[in-house]
Structure 1
Amino acid sequence: MERTSIRLGGVDLHSTIMNASGPRSAERGEIYELSAVHAGALVFKSCNLAGLEAPENLKNRGVEHFAAIAGELTARGKQIIGSIVGTSEDEFITVARILDRAGVAILELNLADDYVANSVAPFASFERLKALIGGVRGAANGVLAVKLPPRSQFPPRALADLLKSMQVAIAVCQNDLPKDLEIDLATGSVKGKLRALSHAHAMYQESENLLDIVAVGGINNGRDAYLAHLSGAKGLQVGSALMKEGAGALGRIDRELDALLGEHGKRSVSEIIGRLTFTEA
């Protein structure tokens, strides 16, 4: 929908809504189903070089499986986000290069999973993180995104500065907004002092427009999407609703978001991104 279209990391997308990496995004049939029913970007399940049988959340057929599908779908104009895991810097680089050559628009380095933390330890030091991202950046031309763990030893601003210096365009963060949070959608205001309301909101505040933010988790309806956009997210990844409802959940949330934007007199979702305000009363 025109009102929910966005430019994310320099890539034009028909909708801010996309699937989260994992649910219904590993096998050819389910990937094609997602592509057929939703105009937004399609996120592949995180993959490594040879494939994995375990852990279950990262079970995949390997990068060549996804590269073949990417080549088919990008030829039809679909914007693809490839998600990458690995146990070494070399594996990340190789997988990124293969997906990049297949035409993937955005390469997401999944550094939030324990599988990566326990093997590569990317957040052990700034030097380790820079070496990993720099290796991928030198091997691939696509837009880079980094999926971040909710907590690391690095202050958000320092992390944002580092990512931007490594030509990362997008940070993928948890959308862990409090369930009982009361936000006035008409004014975009929440009671209380200025504070970070979620991991995604914290990175948005600290990055000062250095990075585009993608929020993942907690997006089950149009109101959830509207709130996440107010807190600074440009893109939204949907997981639980997709698992429960199937591929149609993405279109439903997109339509609900579009309706809310119209209800509040907004011509574009860009008008609400990061517009959250705080009132002391």
Structure 2
Amino acid sequence: MSVNLRVSIGGLRLTSPVMAAAGCGGFGHELARLGVLEHLGALVTPSISASSHPTQHRVRLTEAPSSLVLPTDWPTIGTDTMQPTRVPWEGEQGVPVVASLVGSTSGEFAQAAAGLRRRTLLRGVGGVEVNLACPDAGNKGIPFSYADFAATKVIARVREELPRNVPVLAKLSADVSDVVEIARGCVKSGAEAVVVTSPLRALSMTGVRLSLPARSAGLSGPALLPVTLRAVHDLAAAIRDGRLPPVAIVAVGGISNGHDAAQAMAAGASAVQLGTALIHDPGALRTFRDELVADLQALGLHDVQQLVGLVHR
């Protein structure tokens, strides 16, 4: 039995529900050389800001039980340094690109979005993901995703700077008291999709010393899967109950294989993103699709959209 894997995320049409999480697939060139880029439905770029920023520390990854502790403030590329005639994601890959925007104020997010538009850098960009896990310089470094007003303001500012045909994806954290409330504000401000969850705030130590600054570390990897499933489930339930406007949900955090993807989609996600799994083994993309298809066939489903929200029906 053939299975249809096509999905739509806020108007962004994908041939597969599998996406590369922000920065974990680079700009796609390495994945293309490995021959696995074709297995992705979309690629989320590394962090893009209004102006380039180096990191304030040595970038390193630290292993933890079933997870990784990684820096949350990676170096960024600025729209002010990008050349319209040669954008870094341009090539012959044929995979939709989602630009990941970061900033330390709502104004910086807006400037990054405006930079993409004014410098004609939106060529080849199918959507924009707004990383609300960034620390808010105006709120003691607390991530934007932790405060309804802060997250809402960022999404509204970004939405104003982009054409209506470019969907905005709000990337939230599950490490909040009510992810539905934060998501509601983002959707009302113009987000066409919600992505959960960004890395959970964590601490990395070597012996009795910090390996990374306390404010610059996040936990990712397989250990996050139950947290991601909970967040996706709660958002999908809120949509069914009318507490959240209809919006596409993208699951990220702990998705390691096609079976994990099937669980996330049954909980309510329309697509999934691979982060740590892609860093660990890019070649896993070759089997990811087969595992997802096998689960669909075992359930007697011929369209992946029949799987979305299955646990709620």
Shorter chain as normaliser: what TM range? Answer: 0.7 to 0.9
Output aligned runs, 1:66-145, within 5 Å.
68-69=86-87, 72-73=90-91, 77-100=94-117, 101=120, 102-103=122-123, 104-114=125-135, 119=141, 121-123=143-145, 125-141=147-163, 142-145=166-169
**Out of 151, 170, 183, which is 1:160 matched to?**
183
* 1:143-190 CA distance string (max 9 Å, x none): 01111122335x3443333222112111110294439xxxxxxxxxxx
Does residue 178 (structure 1) correspond to residue 221 (structure 2)? The answer is no
Shift of residue 273 of structure 1?
0.6
**Are 1:170 and 1:212, in contact at CA under 8 Å, matched by a contact in 2?**
yes
**Are 1:47 and 1:85, in contact at CA under 8 Å, matched by a contact in 2?**
yes
Aligned length: 258
User: Quick one: structure 1 residues 118 and 21, their matched pair in 2 at CA, closer, same or farther if it must change by over 3 Å?
Assistant: farther
Looking at structure 2, the residues matched to 52 and 172 of structure 1 have their Cα atoms a distance apart, in angstroms, of 24
Looking at structure 1, the residues matched to 250 and 94 of structure 2 have their Cα atoms a distance apart, in angstroms, of 22
- Residue 226 of structure 2 aligns with an amino acid whose one-letter code is P
Shift of residue 22 of structure 1?
2.4
Q: CA RMSD in A?
A: 3.1
Judge which range, 223-232 or 237-246, deviates more.
Answer: 237-246
Output aligned runs, 1:1-281, within 5 Å.
3-25=4-26, 29-30=29-30, 32-33=32-33, 36-54=37-55, 56=59, 57=71, 58-63=74-79, 64-65=81-82, 68-69=86-87, 72-73=90-91, 77-100=94-117, 101=120, 102-103=122-123, 104-114=125-135, 119=141, 121-123=143-145, 125-141=147-163, 142-152=166-176, 155-174=178-197, 176-178=224-226, 198-208=230-240, 210-246=246-282, 248-276=283-311
**5+ long unaligned stretches in structure 1:** 180-195
TM-score normalised to the size of structure 1?
A: 0.79
Looking at structure 2, the residues matched to 223 and 124 of structure 1 have their Cα atoms a distance apart, in angstroms, of 30
Other structure's SS at 2:23 match: coil
**5+ long unaligned stretches in structure 2:** 60-70, 198-221
TM-score normalised to the size of structure 2?
A: 0.71
Shift of residue 45 of structure 1?
1.3
Other structure's SS at 1:133 match: helix
Percent pairwise identity: 26
Other structure's SS at 2:113 match: helix
